[in-house]
Amino acid sequence: MSVPKAVRQRAGVLHKELHEHNYRYYVLDEPVISDAEYDRLLRELLDLEVHYPELITPDSPSQRVGAAPLKAFGEVRHEVRMLSLDNAFSDEELGEFDRRIRERLEVDAVDYAAEPKLDGLAVSLLYEDAVLTRAATRGDGVTGEDITANVRTIASIPLRLTGRGIPAILEVRGEVYISHRGFERLNRQAMSSGQKPFVNPRNAAAGSLRQLDPKVTAARPLEFYCYGVGRVAGGVLPDRHSDILARLRKWHLRVYEGIGRVHGLAGCMAYYRKLEKTRTALPFEIDGVVFKVDRLDQQEILGFVARAPRWAIARKFPAQEEQTRVTGIDVQVGRTGALTPVARLDPVFVGGVTVTNATLHNEDEVHRKDVRVGDTVIIRRAGDVIPEVVSVIRKKRPKGARVFHLPKQCPVCGSAVERIEGEAVARCSGGLFCPAQRREAIKHFASRRAMDIDGLGDKLVEQLVEKGLIQDVSDLYQLEVEEIAGLERMARKSATNLVEALEKSEATTLERFIYALGIREVGEATARVLAEEFGELEPLMNADVETLQAVRDVGPVVAQHITGFFSEPHNREVIQRLRRAGLHWETVEPAGPRPLAGKTFVLTGTLSMPRSELKARLQAAGARVSGSVSKKTDYVVAGADPGSKYDKAQALGIEILDEAACLKLLK
């Protein structure tokens, strides 16, 4: 059905008016119509779109209410990396930052853009021909999650930009957050409906953005401020960061009014002191101030280091501290088996949240601070960092308070607790058996480089554990199609495919199986060496520390990890069940020539083959592949767009090979 011209024109007028009212309400905070009048205009547009679906466009104000639920988030690769920021925790560190900037630029003083550091979630917004077409989380800085459907529901993010000179492609970066008022309202709603309140605004914002149902996101009080740009094409922006933000504001993007341009270190200090005094009056949570070199040409000269720009820094506010009492000390077992003492506390409000427990890190830290049950202590919390016990007020210690000692057996599974000499962390040795480590042990066992069980993803593992279908990895091979098909989002075909993948994985190699066991610090390379040296599993299981240390690349710590793992009866029982289930491999023949033995390689940049494949080939030839460049590095293999490792190799005079030269060396 074609849309009458008059209807299309009316829809266009409604689009324009609603976008303008959104901008005035959410960005300028200067509404010119009542909420009822706004609702009337929106209802009129919705009625038109119901009768004429052809009118629905990505930038329609109607898209704020949320689309159909998603099955999963897609992946977005950032064309311009979303970098992290280095932190300064004192005036001296900020001064050092300014000194480095001035020395590198060879100037007496620098202009900085100064802005509050919102405690929210970084996102990227892509506008094409002024229309919002994609939104993504920061992720790891290179790859993020596609959250377009959810971001469309945030009223302070324009679906279409307005103004002159907008580039054909404009990537805007900013922070999604929840204000103090919005957070209080959200928690009141949660408690009134019998739900658990959110811990803090940042977690609430992050969780809201990652809802698979955009209608849930639409119901959350999310807001947005932009702080910069990424990719720009088909247009020109100003040559100063502060001027770019002013230009974004003219295009109806929301930019914090208090952003300023300051001169030199003194200007930075003054801005920081002012914001530190007034932060509690702000309508949102901030944990510091971000200073950026304002001139883009100077930013380009300064460049980047690792994952952070040299031209920017976050001056963090001091941690917030309060006083409370320790009511108990529990021991938690983490997913890697690490035992962490946790102080249970009388509830205390600190850093914007109510704190009832705090980490004590490890046994040495408990003894160093001499924390005991009944002690009055100082608690510190900064940003979203886990609260910690800073110190004990010994004058308030009750009589008979006992010294804490870590248990000798795991409080979850009863396996022996292992603590290697020189290490601060103690760990449960029941890696294959301990319920606290169960999920991670199964995920690692099934991973592509271990048993390579196709179709056994993280979410399915979670379901299998929650339903009690698997207690350890050996139970995987007892699963039946009917059990799996009864799980959420699993059809009979998928269940059949998984059972077949499990059967296929029974025929494996010794090195894969050793790696799949998840022994601490036994990676693929060490597993390969162990397989080559021992040829079968039984001799490895029975080897003592002295025998293991005689194996190349196995030091005293790794040797202790291996013997500790195999000396735990629970782990041996699981291995026996796996063998009875049908897992098998061929005996490994002694290793052949190793022409690159003793040589250390570092890989950087984008290669034509997966980096893991080249790493495996180098290791098979006897080479060691390291993650960092040092004086002991023999070769750096550089692909396209190499990073800081390339620069360091040049500075140290290390030989740099391209991929072709590396492959030639392997031959």
Which residues are annotated as catalytic?
117
Question: Which residue is associated with the tokens 């301990």?
Answer: 434
| Cβ atoms of residues 177 and 225 within 8 Å | yes
Exposure string (b/e) for 272-283, b if CB count within 10 Å is 16 or more? beebeeebeeee
- Residue type, position 464, single letter: L
Task: Tell me the C-alpha distance between 48 and 10, whole Å.
Answer: 9
Rg (C-alpha) for the chain, rounded Å, is 29
Three-state secondary structure call for residue 204: helix
- Stated length of the chain: 667
State the chain's maximal CA–CA distance in angstroms: 88
Three-state secondary structure call for residue 590: coil
Closest listed residue to residue 428, CA positions, set 440, 443, 445, 415: 415
Closest listed residue to residue 552, CA positions, set 619, 631, 632: 619
Closest listed residue to residue 290, CA positions, set 93, 174, 116: 116
Task: Tell me the C-alpha distance between 285 and 280, whole Å.
Answer: 8
Closest listed residue to residue 395, CA positions, set 331, 466, 323: 323
| Cβ atoms of residues 545 and 556 within 8 Å | yes
Phi and psi at residue 87, in whole multiples of 5°? -115, 145
CB atoms within 10 A of CB 375: 22
Task: Tell me the C-alpha distance between 236 and 137, whole Å.
Answer: 25
| Cβ atoms of residues 177 and 201 within 8 Å | yes
Kindly state the tokens that stand for 582: 């049908």
Closest listed residue to residue 419, CA positions, set 520, 549, 513, 538: 520
| Cβ atoms of residues 201 and 183 within 8 Å | yes
Kindly state the tokens that stand for 412: 């979850």
Closest listed residue to residue 294, CA positions, set 250, 262, 247: 262
| Cβ atoms of residues 434 and 412 within 8 Å | yes
Closest listed residue to residue 359, CA positions, set 334, 389, 337: 389
β-strand pairing of 353-359 with 339-350: antiparallel
Q: Which residues pair with 624 in a beta bridge?
A: 600
Residue 174: CA atoms inside 13 Å, Cβ hemisphere, count?
Answer: 25
Task: Tell me the C-alpha distance between 157 and 132, whole Å.
Answer: 9
Quickly list H helices, 453-536.
458-466, 481-485, 492-505, 510-516, 524-534
| Cβ atoms of residues 122 and 144 within 8 Å | no
> Phi/psi class of residue 166: alpha, beta or left (left: φ > 0; alpha: ψ in -120 to 50)?
beta
Helix axes 180-192, 201-209, angle to 10 degrees: 70
| Cβ atoms of residues 402 and 372 within 8 Å | yes
Q: How far is CA 601 from the centre of its chain?
A: 28
